[in-house]
Amino acid sequence: MSHRPFIARSALMGLLLVATGTALAATDDETRDWRRWLRMFPNIAPATQPAYLQECGSCHLAYPPGVLPAASWSRILAPESLADHYGDDASLPDALVAELRGYLMANAADGSARVRERAFAVPGAARSDTGLPRITETPYFIRKHRRIPARLVTDNPEVSRFSQCNRCHIGADRGVFDERQIEIPGLGRWKD
Ligand code: HEC
Ligand code: HEC
């Protein structure tokens, strides 16, 4: 029996203790910088699947799969829903729909380990105007955007709809929805 693994583990523990000690000894300023840095990490996984990016990213942002639960994606992908997609025709061949379905199901909000994606799966949304589920009608979305006045959205020709996430969230295609990376056209950087 070798004692090497033990030594390696002890060394690792030692390192961890030093790191923790350093973090605890950090000044308030340093802690704030560190938090800011951490918040910049994309905590919503961006859409990556090529067919999805192409077919579902031409009229609006290819929404990250983690911003709706599986049941909602499933309803959106039903053939009759795609034929009347919030007023547009977004019909696709069956094989392509099956591919998109597999991708969205595997990465939906309700199965996610990411805290912010799971927030989008909390039920209670009001029924939408079109009968199809909307990201913008999830309770989490509504809560996060209720302080934004209409003049910055619907009355703003450069935004016009909340469904145009990337008009304000400049890192949306990378999954970055952080409060510090928002620039509303006509207003500039969002300040809390
Ligand atoms: C032909 C253009 C077009 C294509 C292609 C398209 N969409 Fe849309 N999509 C729209 C329009 C228009 C709306 C409604 C926007 C609004 O009301 O603000 C919409 C809305 C949505 C919404 C609701 C956004 C909200 O308000 O929360 C989702 C989700 C969505 N689309 C997903 C998809 C998916 C998935 C695909 C690929 C299968 C897709 N879209 C392809 C035009 C399109
Ligand atoms: C009109 C500009 C605008 C549009 C369009 C918009 N958002 Fe936002 N969003 C904001 C602002 C501003 C905040 C921060 C609100 C606050 O600080 O109270 C925010 C907050 C968020 C947050 C929470 C971020 C955090 O750090 O807590 C998420 C997630 C989010 N938006 C997702 C989306 C998604 C997804 C879409 C598209 C379906 C979207 N937003 C469309 C302006 C917008």
For ligand 2, mutation pick of 63, 122, 144 (most atoms within 8 Å of CB): 144
Q: Say whether pLDDT at 182 is over 80.
A: yes
Burial of residue 139 (number of CB atoms within 10 Å: 0-12, 13-18, 19+): middle
What percent of the chain shows pLDDT beyond 90? Answer: 62
Q: What is the pLDDT of residues 2-42, one digit of tens each?
A: 456 555 666 656 555 555 555 555 566 666 666 665 555 55
For ligand 1, mutation pick of 56, 74, 96, 100 (most atoms within 8 Å of CB): 56
State pTM to two decimals.
0.84
